[in-house]
Amino acid sequence: MSTYIALADVNEQEFQNPQELVSIWGDIREDVEKLGGELLDSYALVGGYDFVVTFEVDEEDAAMQIAMAIERHGLDTQTMRAIPTDRLGELVDDI
């Protein structure tokens, strides 16, 4: 499985109060699982983004579907594949 990171910003027009925002995380977890992924972690952030979501999935197409599913919940995302730093040595050796 590959790991993906989704940096997410809240679309303020979608939410009236913080309680509404909190209520979406169960739905996001369900969507990730329905699309064949596993939600690893989610964190609220202080800085340039509001949240970070990490998930694992077998196929890149499913990662795209998951990113779109997260956006349907009122979050604007930037999603990227993550490679563990301990694998960097293997990648450098292949060059």
Tens of pLDDT, residues 25-73 = 899 999 999 999 999 999 999 999 999 999 999 999 999 999 999 999 9
Domain encompassing residue 45: 2-93
Element (H, E) at 89: helix 88-93
pLDDT in tens, 9-27: 988 777 777 777 788 889 9
**Total number of domains constituting the chain:** 1
Q: What are phi and psi of 27, to 5 degrees?
A: -65, -40
- Which CATH number does the domain housing residue 31 bear? 3.30.70.60
